[in-house]
Structure 1
């Protein structure tokens, strides 16, 4: 069975070394893999319920990727069976004037997971070491400082009971073209398309370099990065579902012990 270590960002990492078309976690027919994905979604629900009942620790899933890489789709399928009680999704858009008037991590603190909660960040604080770098709004010195500040911020979270899972959804340029064209050609999807998507697409190589540097600088023992080959939507969903289930299973959350005062109680 394929190991997650293969796709964990470590020394000498280069994003270009990973093929976005790889499907190492697809090991059977599509039908069999879809059934496994559904079973993993059920497992995730059970584990998340225990995490919520335990009420001591929390999980943060960070999803990063270029336009059309499938962040929304990942959330839809991986959490298809999960009770919304203990799962919260936060989407990071371009910072508002209120947010830009403060340090770049300010808006993140308000949406970190609470005890017993699994939080999903659709984009994240990493936008602030991608867009500003490509657009040359910040220089190399500021970028290095932000990398260090991100590592410190994530260490603060982990030292206070948060388990962080960071996934970069890695698609190829040709696959992005197909997905953008599908949005243009499908009336029901056109709301997802923006002309700005094409402007960003022209800077594809610059964004790939920015991603590669950011991942290498911020993949730590306490908060490692995993690159998820995502040309295949099914592979993307299955890999992330397996990673989350494995992470929660290793945490081994447990419900509080039975209350002796309730023994023998008869509800009338």
Structure 2
């Protein structure tokens, strides 16, 4: 097991807890953007695979998530989260100025990754999107309710491996409560900004599970079609649920990701 180094990085929202994995002599930087309610510590296995492919892996906990400060799962402006991500990228790139950066975003972190790529395309060599929240998202229907119900994420929707759901439920750093209205409103505004924004020039890979109930592939595709650039690749996995990096075929998924990255970086 490769133990991560933990540090704090100053960002526009204040400070973020950041985990870094490396085995020495990296050839590229993998910047991970985790999903709603979770944290970067859930990406230990992913980080180890990336390090095995000569990456230096850098993964912040977004504001209000994991070990980072802030009210849990609360943010009022998604662009602030995006600029936090950019501040982390600048910090790690300043320490390793010769290494190309690949931004990897999962779920809501995929939304942040796309918005980041729209605003900072020249800082990235490639983007990987895992089940990104794009286009439309049924969870935003909660904004129409007078009072948002306490409906936590069903752990069985994460993976066909039941242990993934059990670990999720038992993880004290995962948020298991209700969605917060300002956060949902900020997500809604961000999706609109993405839809109205520029297409992606940076090479991009989109991976999604065919049986994803949390972020249905068809809904994401409506947003993908708005930002899809000239060099865009996709894999939709039959039977796959929401967390492809924790799925029963996770080795296949990571293999496809690393094939894409290796091709784009010529590693």
| TM-score bracket relative to the smaller structure | 0.3 to 0.5
If asked which structure has higher relative contact order (CA below 8 Å, sep 6+), I would say 1
Query: Which structure shows the higher helix fraction?
Result: 1
Query: Which structure shows the higher strand fraction?
Result: 2
TM-score by length of 1: 0.41
Answer with 1 or 2: which has the greater Rg: 1
